Structure 1
Amino acid sequence: MSDIFVSYARINDQPFSGQKQGWVSHFINNLRNETSQRIGRAENYSLWMDFKLSANDAVTPEIEKQLRDAHILIVMMSRGWLESEWCVRELEYFCATHDDLAGRIFIINQDGLPREEQPEILHDLVSCPLYEKTPHDQIQRLGYPVPDVADREYFGRIVELSFQLEKSLRRFAQALVLKSAEPRSVETKATAYVAPVHDSLFDQRSQLVSELAQFGIQALPAANRFDREFESNLQRCSHFVQLLDTDFVQGLSCDQYLIAQTMEKPVLQWRDPMLDCSKANHEQKALLEGKTVIACELPDFIRQVREEVLPKPPPPPPPVNGNKMVFVHASPEDFPKAEQVAATLQERGFGIVLPRYEGDAQRIRKSIERGYQYCDVLLMLQQRASADLVEDYLAELEVYAKKSPTVLLCQCQRAEKLHFIPPLMKILHCNDRFEADCLEQFLATEVSA
């Protein structure tokens, strides 16, 4: 269960070049940190920002429950939000499940959208403008693409908004006491021990625990404080997760790590990739440089923890239509992914065709035409390829195909959006893991066909 629900369009949170997080994630993380200081601790309230649904997914019962139970809805208003059917439905569902909307909806206007273009229910509400006009009357988001610590206007808006959120949270606390112990989350699917940390890593642990909870992963201990029941709690958990820096903290980190090893628990440890390990004492330095330590951006580590801790789904049954011929097509820059997918499909009994990108242009063209002519399924992969190139590939199908194959597009979430989509083509959304995400969806499609 969440105190604050964030409704946003995925298109507004695409990472800028070289960044790990998008603009919306940066804003919400900064707002969450500032609000935590107002409330007292991050554990005293919960914020839900959906990390799972893709742009074309429906609002699930899990999301409906979070909307129904939330005290506050933050609407990240933008042109993309208005164009998202599911964002609008989130607003409608929140309004339908709350009798008193006073002080419950906060609008963050990213694009300077006029009030009359927004849903009517929002017309009388004051929005927080997170943009400015350039001398040429162009709209520029504050803190875009990545906030600068010296941007006083951007952080000033965050501070102002955090005061308003604190006021509303304290008002609703009388109806439902603010969370102070076990996190209110979705149905627990797994449990991991997330070791308590000192103050310098408090925000990172809070972010980790909050995002894991959204995927049904319970973290023990719930509160970030010394755990007297450490060994019994660790025994209940599938994994030991630890955030590290150069602070020795009386050797507690090392002791807990050694106990986790003795209990044969899988270990996942994190440190900032920019951390200077030479500043740590000998024992802490050895811990920081251990084989189980992952030096990466925190969002990447959270994703790895999630993938490791969540129970693995059973392998899909062998496909019923294993005699089908699949043309796994991709541009040269995406071809390595196509080879991985094709190898697994061949192991499952499918016939496969791949384009050739070695040799002269005639040889390459012949291999692509052969794929179109003989395939029962065209499985197109798009990660780095431009939309124009993929659209050209799809258009060629009508020219060369001898029959009407099933057309599936396995598309990375960050891939360029297509404006040419053949009838009945199904899009499989992947998270840069074509050989896993895409393949699983493909096999499920074929088994049910």
Structure 2
Amino acid sequence: MIFARQVFISYAHLDNQPLGADQTGWVSLFHSTLQTLLSQRLGSVADIWRDDKLHGNDDFSNEILDQLAGTAVFVSILTPRYLKSEWCKKEILSFCQQAEDRHSLMVGNKARIIKVLKLPVEEGSDLPPVVGRLLGYDFYEVDEERVPHELDPAYGDRPRQAFLRKANKLAWDLAAQLTELQRPSPASAETNEAPAEKPAVFLAECSRDRREARDSIASELACCGFRVLPEARLPDDEDEYLATVGALLETCVLSIHLVGTGYGRVPDGDRQQSVVVLQNELAAARSRSHGLRRVIWLPGGIASAQSAQQAFLHALQTDAALQHGADVVSGDLETAKSAIHTALKPPAPPPAEVPAGAGRVHLVCDANDRKAIVPLIKRLRGRGLEVSLPVFVGDAAQVRETNRQLALDCDAILLYYGAGDEAWKYHQQNDLRKLLGSPRARPLKASLTLLAEPPGDDKEILQALAEPDVLDALDGIGDTTLAPLFAALGLSETP
């Protein structure tokens, strides 16, 4: 599509009055910042226009109409004053009407309107319906007393940094949209086909204390070419919300959940559960049914003063079903980002076919067990089995992914319960249960727990229960002890 101008900024002039005589108006600052950032992202000078005249009771000018007709993207800076301004409403209504007349208000899955919220507003029926469906860019924050403040550098360094982060995200998104709008249509293109788009990623809604991190992750994924969902405001009705999120998850290869201290908004419905809880539940179900990969950022030691959120935090850390298919990350934001990028890497090629009669056992153990397991490894290798061991040292995300692949690329998993304590055993078993639902290059024939020294109360209970998937080696390891493993792998009890 061909446009005479890239961006039109629509705003109320009252919102550009500076807080002090020696300061720049907020809209002017927004314009100049966006101009610089967008130009850098495009690699050429961005064409951004706004009307700086005070109109009073003037008629809606032909100049404005001409600018709107040739504009690629309309940026609306919403404030209480904007909603009361007949002039502003004329601008946005006129842009939508002209775009719809040309069948181009929505191009692909993107609206050609960007909603910038300088302050929170209650959007009424005077604005086009598409505006209410947009997510928008919040250029304000709410303090401890629930009072909103626009992100204005005049308020200090922290608001200045937040303003620049928001402007940076907007610039990246705008650059991607303008590039797409200005790409030649398939009928007129004479060059080779455009490269295939990267898959979609579901970045779950989160509580207020994780929004800054969510914006950072969304920007980074967009810069890498991934489509980040949701792209529009999700419904307030619970049934509609569940249906919409479920449909979005069907199109994604990864879902990301950033768990904070707040419970989050609650859709209107019978369940009265927050969007954070509902999205995790839907993603876990999609993981069970279709192998959706997930990353949950659950910082260690996190707690909430809200009882509902604290209950969810406890459930998320103790219920394996809520973690299904997820890599649970407890480090900082950069650790979470590393896990996300690792999860988005193309799957490794399937391993070479294993010769007939051979088998591969993945031995899960605590780092302190590495010397104690040497006799076990020799016994297994003596039966012609390949043995893999966990990786303990390296980048946290890479260690997790390597150990995940080792557990997926084997015929049997043997959990060596020796130096590790009860909590270690629980978390290892929890991780292994989640892996059972993941696609595998080779079928898993056995998943067993081997009890080894030192003795302990928990091990004595497991010894007394004598469950079939528990091997008792507290008095030493012999072929009889390993008989269930050998049988599962098609080997006789003795050589």
Q: Specify if TM > 0.5.
A: no
**Structure with more relative contact order (C-alpha pairs < 8 Å, separation 6 or more):** 1
- TM-score norm. by structure 1 comes to 0.37
Q: TM-score, normalised by structure 2?
A: 0.33
Kindly name which structure, 1 or 2, has the bigger radius of gyration based on alpha carbons: 2
